[in-house]
Amino acid sequence: MSSDLTFKSIAELAVLLEAKKLSSVELTQATIARTKAVEARVKAFNSFDETDALAQAAASDARRTAGQARGPLEGIPVGLKDVISVAGQPLTASSKMLVNFVSPYDATVTRKLKHAGAVLWGRLNLDEFAMGSSTENSAFHTTRNPWDLTRVPGGSSGGSAAALAAGEASMTLGSDTGGSIRQPAALCGVVGFKPSYGLISRYGLIAFASSLDQIGPFTRTVEDAAITLSVIAGHDPLDSTSFKTELPDYRAELGRRNGPWRLGIPKEYFGEGLDPEVAAAVQAAVEHYKKLGCEIKEVSLPHTKYCLDTYYIIATAEASSNLARYDGIRYGHRSKDAKDAIDIYFKSRAEGFGAEVKRRIILGTYVLSSGYYDAYYLRAQKVRTLIRQDFLNAYKEVDALLTPTTPTPAFKIGEKADPLAMYLCDVYTIGVNLAGLPGLSLPCGFSKSGLPIGLQVIGQPFKEAELLSIARAYEQAHDWHLRHPNLL
């Protein structure tokens, strides 16, 4: 099978599968072959099971033959970030703490993918416990950017972005706490979509910061993102933060919404630190929307300057609480050198967690501690409300916002040793999580050195259909998403 097959969109593959011009087994075999050809250099996966994937594919073909195909994901190989539970499969969060852990149950998104007939293919690498922006914090290995193997793929969902960009899966899922889907999507030249908080169940997702975490897809096209969203979105009683809302057919809505739209340009997102090549590519995208008849208006999000501080108080506080369960007692890594119960706690956590995870636990514990809670955590929650209100005020004047996804294209592995320099990589994405909004990154150009650049479209709460349509309007007029890295 040609490697071209592994770069086709879900929509294209579904047509071939439906017409019986391609079987799921053939597609899965091609995906496995592609993975074996490039994975030694890309290092996107933590693990995969060829036998299991081929068995799923054969079952899919049998359903199709019997006239029982389950939908547009029937027979499509899908990779999952290694924080999303799949019963009987490893669930490591790329941490020594969970190196031998096997999930006893399916996440809700996993169950929905299975119900839709998808072939679940492999566990994808990430920054440990989803804490990082480069996938250099994985306890196992550093994933590399398929466009330049000396550079990072972004993070924390770097394995998910790199696997898709390298042709090792037809769609992947990641999680986004402060940009962890959109940032790697931009650096790897694919579409990355973080829906509104509460639209997709978090049940079965290893928690980092529960009020910020959101599962979402990496896809080749905006249409594929719409297809996937229709499968995995929806209220779930197993997730207390899941939101009850009417779900449109997102793919069908793409054809019904043609603009023109009122689009806002936040002035705070185009200042110091923005790479000139990124600024030029995003500005060219803005000009394209003008040609489509869209009204372009500069808006202000005045509390943007507080986003980074607010995020790293709230996220670390919630991480400190969530990661307290990894104590060496119930499950996960237990130190062999411990002499008593207290020793087990100290040594198991010291050995099991990496440096960045420890840094965030310590910071989060501090801001929640007696005497500091009001000064830090409570105040951060109040500022978070102001940040959300900034966005809602802007949406009184515009339908969506256009911004860069990242300040720069992909940087060299090892380049950002300073934690603060790494945190600044998410400066354009964290506000979306704090406000609970939907955000999407799509390719909008390349740097002179051949690295992808991403455009971020930020939508109104639970107006994913409109957001997807706005992004599709740009994508249809450009071929950035059709370009693929040359790894062979």
Residue 195 preceded by cis peptide, ω within 30: no
Say if residue 381 is exposed, middle or buried (CB neighbours under 10 Å; 0-12, 13-18, 19+): middle
Give the DSSP letter of residue 148: B
Give residue 207's Cα distance to chain centre.
Answer: 14
**Per annotation, catalytic residue among 180, 201, 441, 469:** 180
Q: Which of 302, 354, 301, 297 is nearest to 323 (CA)?
A: 354
Residue 359 to residues 37, 355, 362: CA-CA distances in angstroms? 37, 6, 5
The position carrying tokens 């996993």 is: 110
How far apart are alpha carbons 431 and 405 in whole angstroms? 12
Collapse the DSSP code of 392 into the 3-class scheme (helix H, G, I; strand E, B; otherwise coil) and give the result.
helix
Task: Output the CA torsion 81→87→89→91 (10° steps).
Answer: 50
- 397: amino acid identity, one letter: E
Block residue for tokens 């990430």:
126
Of residues 185, 198, 190, 199, the one with CA closest to residue 231:
199
Which two three-digit tokens encode residue 36? 């074996």
Of residues 170, 124, 136, 120, the one with CA closest to residue 11: 170
Distance CA 50, CA 32 (A): 7
Set 9, 60, 156, 201: catalytic member: 156
Clarify whether 180 is annotated catalytic: yes
Do residues 143 and 98 make contact, with C-beta atoms less than 8 angstroms apart?
no
Catalytic residue among 81, 114, 194, 347: 81
Sign of CA dihedral 88, 315, 78, 197: positive
Residue among 256, 152, 171 nearest 216 (CA): 171
Query: For residues 440 and 191, is the Cβ–Cβ distance under 8 A?
Result: yes
- What does DSSP say about strands 215-219 and 191-194: parallel, antiparallel, or unpaired? antiparallel
d(CA 480, CA 173): 21
Q: Is 347 a catalytic residue?
A: no
Residues with a known catalytic role = 81, 156, 180
